[in-house]
Amino acid sequence: MSNNQQLNDLATQVRRDILRMVHKVNSGHPGGSLGCTEFFVAMYNEIMELNDEFEMDGIGEDLFFLSNGHISPVYYSVLARRGYFPVEELNTFRVIDSRLQGHPTTHEGLPGVRIASGSLGQGMSVAIGAALAKKLNKDNHLVYSLHGDGELQEGQNWEAIMYAAGNKVDNYIATVDYNGQQIDGATNDVLPMGDLKAKFEAFGWDVLEIKEGNNLEAVINGMKEAKTRTGKGKPVCVLLHTVMGNGVDFMMHTHAWHGKAPNDEQLETALAQNPETVGDY
Amino acid sequence: MKKYTDTGKKDTRSGFGAGMTVLGRTNPNVVALCADLIGSLKIQEFIDENPERFFQIGIAEANMMGIAAGLTIGGKIPFTGTFANFSTGRVYDQIRQSIAYSGKNVKICASHAGLTLGEDGATHQILEDIGLMKMLPGMTVINPCDFNQTKAATIAIAEHQGPVYLRFGRPKVANFTPEDQKFEIGKAVLLNEGTDVTIIATGHLVWESLLAAEALEAKGISAEVINIHTIKPLDEEAILASVAKTGCVVTAEEHNYYGGLGESVARVLVKNHPAPQEFIATNDTFGESGTPDQLMEKYGLNNKAIVKAVEKVLERKQATPSFNMQG
């Protein structure tokens, strides 16, 4: 898929999926999911080289790891619409006997997912391990991961950040969803993290910023630029500036919808702002 | 009773190192990770022979567990190495989510377990690790008894698909199991047949149990000795077959009795064949500094303590005629 209009239509449909999924079970995390919609659509349809059949080892293809597992709605929607599993299965999000658990897991055998995540701060280490395996296997494909900005408060990340630079894990691009929000409020109020760009650079990473993380074209161009920075002896960090709740006016610029589902009326309003494109599940 | 010969005292951690050397030469998918304790884990030979398959992680155990999980994606079989304390309690959530729940084929190899770590004291002497690991769904928990068995276990777990916790120790102890043994995960080893009592031991306490059985024989007591190197999955059949014959049990381990082998055995007995049981284990306490022998004496984890426990459990059996009726 390369037509940006088609991808924008897909992004709108993914936002509808997210809203309908969390509304149905009155739980889940729409805020971060909506904010990362363009990123996921770009990654799975434009940026990553992916095999048609899902295999856990992922040899001969790019790999993606979601560290901030609570934004599972966007992950599930994009995986389903990329063909990893039937789109109708989105209807089972967070219900009993589902492969679409509240947080992503390999435990139920959902194609597309290679690690459980939800307890925060663990995904970067896993992604580094997968990148090291690619080097051992002489597989020139890349490993990608996504992290919340608030998630960087977990100390394990900084162990991983230090390791990746110190060991020149340069087949790896870690993206930070830089929306400045976490459950209890603005990251700057909960626990200020200072200058993330300077911090990653001080640890020895090559850092680039995507200022318009909810502009699909900007995300695609930014991630393509990030790819050109790989293989040069440094891990690559993308600071992806997004707006939590993007695409639904009353959910934007607030942490209030981090982990709250819309009611019937709010859903109607939100869906009206995101009309059906490629078809509801 | 059957005679066992100590062929020369050796540390079980060196058995692990020797097993890693073999794996380095025979299984190209095996990789090793270490958190700044290469010398303690005895893996220098593996590193020298396979430098590209070794990852020095630094003092960052959480990151080590995550990297190990990631290395499995791509077909590697990672063996992580650090002290038991830092292999379990420090990184429990990383093991739980990224390894156990994710079903990753990681081998968590833990040295310096228990009191016999010695002089470093309680900060490093974990006595809770078996409990922590056996509670994780899908985790296999192994605690071999000597150098030869640790080497054999190390080689065997590479062939097992799924997460494994392999526990071993620092001190030089009797090396008495066969050098060429076949290690079967989940299969108890009957070391001595007896009729009066069953001693079920794991790790360093297995040799102590054999010494105890000898002393008991001199007193006219016939002790069956079972080496449970795999605590999970537990060889319930072997335990029940023995207790059907003897009618009472002493379990022995270098671990807190909360969460240890003894509790696992008690669960099996209560459900299938209730029988008196005594526990050789630490009694809900932390350790302290001292030599391994001093600590094992003070905390009641040696052959003398096992003999006393056997005498006590035999009294209980005799005082409870119904237990003698079973089997």
Nearest to A43 by CA among A85, A81, A95: A81
| Best A110, A122, A140 residue to mutate vs chain B (most B CBs within 10 Å) | A122
Say which of A59, A105, A156 has its CB closest to residue B74: A59
Domain presence at residue A12: yes
Catalytic site residue from B61, B224, B254, B263: B61
| Residue A119: closest CA among A104, A98, A108, A97 | A104
For residue A77, give the 3-state DSSP assignment: helix
Contact A124 B76 (CB under 8 A): no
Rounded Cα gap, residues A126 and A58, in angstroms: 14
- List the end-to-end C-alpha distance of chain A, in Å, as a whole number: 20
Decide the pairing of beta strands A63-66 and A143-148: parallel
**Is A277 contained in some domain?**
no
H or E stretch covering B214? helix B205-218
Backbone angles phi, psi at B164, to 5 degrees: -135, 140
Question: Total domain count for chain A?
Answer: 1
| In a domain? residue A20 | yes
Any chain B CB within 8 A of the CB of A35? no
- Residue A281 included in any domain: no
pLDDT per position as a tens digit, B69-100 = 999 999 999 999 999 999 999 999 999 999 99
Locate the chain A residue with the closest alpha carbon to B63: A125
Residue A137 lies in a domain: yes
Q: CA distances (Å), B4 to each of A225, B1, B209, in order?
A: 67, 9, 12
Rounded to an integer, what distance in angstroms lies between the CA atom of residue B110 and that of residue B80? 8
Q: What is the CATH number of the domain that holds A236?
A: 3.40.50.970
The closest alpha carbon to B302, from B199, B200, B211, belongs to: B211
- Inter-residue contact A205 to A229 (CB < 8 Å): no
Domain that includes residue A211, residue range: 4-272
Asked if the Cβ–Cβ distance from B97 to A129 is below 8 Å, we say: no
A103 part of contact set with chain B, CB < 8 Å:
no
The answer to whether the CB atoms of B102 and A128 lie below 8 A apart is: no
Question: pLDDT tens across B183-222, in order?
Answer: 999 999 999 999 999 999 999 999 999 999 999 999 999 9
Strand, coil or helix: B165: strand
Q: What is the ipTM of this complex?
A: 0.97
- Domain annotation covers residue A173: yes
Domains of chain B in start order, with CATH, are: 10-173 (3.40.50.970), 189-317 (3.40.50.920)
Measured in degrees and rounded to the nearest 5, phi and psi for residue B271 equal -75, -30
Q: What is the pLDDT along chain A (281 residues), one digit of tens a residue?
A: 557 899 999 999 999 999 999 999 999 999 999 999 999 999 999 999 999 999 999 999 999 999 999 999 999 999 999 999 999 999 999 999 999 999 999 999 999 999 999 999 999 999 999 999 999 999 999 999 999 999 999 999 999 999 999 999 999 999 999 999 999 999 999 999 999 999 999 999 999 999 999 999 999 999 999 999 999 999 999 999 999 999 999 999 888 999 999 999 999 999 999 999 999 99
B61 is catalytic: yes
Asked whether residue A171 is assigned to any structural domain, the reply reads yes
Which are the contacts of A201, defined by CB distance < 8 A and separation ≥ 6? A207
- Which structure tokens are listed for A278? 């490629």
What sections of chain A are H helices per DSSP? 4-25, 30-35, 37-42, 72-81, 123-136, 156-166, 187-190, 196-202, 216-228, 264-272
User: Going by C-beta distance under 8 Å and a sequence separation of 6 or more, which residues neighbour residue B216?
Assistant: B197, B222, B223, B307, B310
Residues of B in contact with A124 (CB under 8 A): 66
